[in-house]
């Protein structure tokens, strides 16, 4: 696993990930919620990191390569 994150616009985020890290994008897991807020999204992100068992490399020092605007 490379990166776990959250987005309010999954289409735009996936497009940006494919531009930034095309060699590392090959699978996506999505959880949709009706009324997203930062707390809910951060809790889901943390639960997925815990489910993974370790911090993906893209969530550590390399997080900016996944999250910064193009």
Number of domains in the chain: 1
Task: Give the model confidence (pLDDT) of 22-66 as tens digits.
Answer: 999 989 999 888 888 899 999 999 999 999 999 999 999 999 999
Residue 2 within a domain = no
In a domain, 1, yes or no: no
46 CB-near residues (< 8 Å, 6+ apart): none
* Residue 41 lies inside a defined structural domain of this protein: yes
Task: Report pTM.
Answer: 0.80
Domain that holds residue 42: 10-67
Name residues whose C-beta falls within 8 Å of residue 58's C-beta, 6 or more positions apart in sequence.
2, 3, 4, 5, 21, 24, 65, 66
Q: Is residue 63 part of a domain?
A: yes
Whether 58 is covered by a domain: the verdict is yes
Residue 30 domain flag: yes
* Tokens of residue 6, six digits: 């959250």
């Amino acid at each position: 696993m490379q990166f776990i994150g959250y987005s309010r616009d999954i289409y735009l985020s996936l497009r940006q990930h494919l531009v930034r890290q095309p060699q590392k994008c090959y699978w996506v897991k999505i959880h949709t919620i009706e009324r997203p807020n930062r707390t809910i999204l951060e809790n889901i992100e943390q639960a997925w990191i815990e489910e993974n068992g370790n911090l993906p490399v893209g969530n550590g020092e390399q997080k900016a390569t996944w999250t910064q605007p193009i």
